[in-house]
């Protein structure tokens, strides 16, 4: 025989008043934030459009005729930027993780590999990306090695991989070192080898912790893919330069900038979302 259900829980009048007050505060905060944002935007527009040089700036950077004429070519070049990013990103992830794992090897027999990994991260983080693109893009073809790539897009991807691989390796290494040593000790007590411990225990935790900084690096990679234009490929920046040089108008540059913004802003917001979620998880774990 089933027992009769207890009385339904009902919020008290005090709790209802408190919730209504909180909703009222939230609405007031949203209203104030919206009004202040609109006011600042209007003031900025007035300040810019009333400046003495605004007519010249509008003619040079906001010519919609030039925008319509250059947009197809700039978009076609931007798709090449996206292709470069899509090819380079997974290679960078693999290279960075391998270098980070090699730096974590403790056996004396692996000292040459550890030294090579340290040398790689120190050197390629110290070289500016634009300089590295010059060195790889013009240095490798000059060596005239059998089978060496000569395609400027391929050479640009190699330079970006070498540069960003060093940064991503340090991100992975910091994530691996952030895993508490007790995790390794517990895994070894279960008779897991070093490789199994890293594969099943340490690396999965480290990867989850470093996703936000990795996404920040990849947002930078999206923008730095424009540096490959230095080697000659007709990507977005190069297409913009061609149109700007022929028309003496810089609207195509603004068009390219808008395309890059449309790609990087969603990733930035997604990064913020992941960072906030990770913070909530840590706070929740701290209260357990």
Q: Following DSSP, what letter does each residue of 60-109 receive, concatenated?
A: HH--HHHHHHHHHHHHHHHHHHHHHHHHHHHHHHHHHHHHHHHHT--SGG
Q: Per-residue pLDDT tens for 27-46?
A: 888 999 899 999 999 999 89
Whole-structure pTM value: 0.80
| Confidence grade of residue 82 (pLDDT, cut at 50, 70, 90) | very high
Distance CA 17, CA 105 (A): 60
Q: Per-residue pLDDT tens for 201-247?
A: 888 888 888 888 888 888 889 888 989 988 888 888 888 989 888 88
Which pLDDT belongs to residue 206?
87
Which pLDDT belongs to residue 4?
57
Mean pLDDT across 94-103: 93
Q: Per-residue pLDDT tens for 163-190?
A: 999 999 999 999 888 888 888 888 888 8
| Confidence grade of residue 287 (pLDDT, cut at 50, 70, 90) | very low
Q: Please report which residue ranges of the chain form alpha helices under DSSP H.
A: 13-49, 54-61, 64-103, 111-126, 129-143, 152-178, 181-189, 194-197, 203-224, 236-247, 251-286
């Amino acid at each position: 025989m089933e027992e009769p259900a207890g009385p339904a829980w009902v919020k008290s009048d005090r709790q209802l008043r408190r919730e209504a007050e909180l909703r009222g505060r939230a609405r007031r905060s949203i209203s104030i934030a919206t009004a202040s944002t609109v006011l600042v935007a209007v003031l900025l527009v007035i300040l810019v459009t009333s400046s003495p040089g605004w007519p010249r700036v509008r003619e040079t950077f906001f010519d919609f005729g030039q925008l319509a004429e250059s947009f197809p070519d700039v978009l076609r070049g931007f798709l090449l930027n996206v292709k470069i990013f899509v090819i380079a990103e997974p290679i960078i992830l693999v290279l960075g993780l391998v270098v980070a794992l090699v730096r974590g090897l403790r056996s004396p027999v692996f000292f040459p590999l550890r030294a090579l990994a340290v040398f790689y991260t120190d050197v390629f983080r110290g070289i500016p990306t634009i300089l590295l693109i010059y060195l790889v893009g013009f240095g490798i073809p000059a060596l005239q090695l059998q089978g060496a790539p000569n395609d400027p897009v391929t050479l640009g991807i190699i330079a970006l991989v070498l540069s960003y691989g060093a940064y991503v390796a340090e991100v992975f290494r910091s994530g691996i070192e952030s895993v508490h040593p007790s995790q390794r000790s517990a895994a070894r007590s279960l008779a897991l080898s070093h490789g199994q411990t890293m594969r099943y225990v340490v690396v999965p935790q480290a990867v989850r912790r470093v996703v936000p900084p990795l996404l920040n690096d990849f947002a930078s990679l999206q923008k730095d893919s424009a540096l490959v234009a230095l080697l000659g490929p007709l990507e977005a920046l190069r297409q913009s330069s061609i149109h700007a040089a022929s028309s003496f108008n810089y609207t195509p540059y603004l068009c390219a900038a808008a395309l890059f913004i449309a790609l990087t802003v969603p990733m930035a917001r997604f990064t913020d979302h992941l960072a906030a979620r990770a913070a909530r998880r840590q706070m929740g774990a701290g209260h357990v």
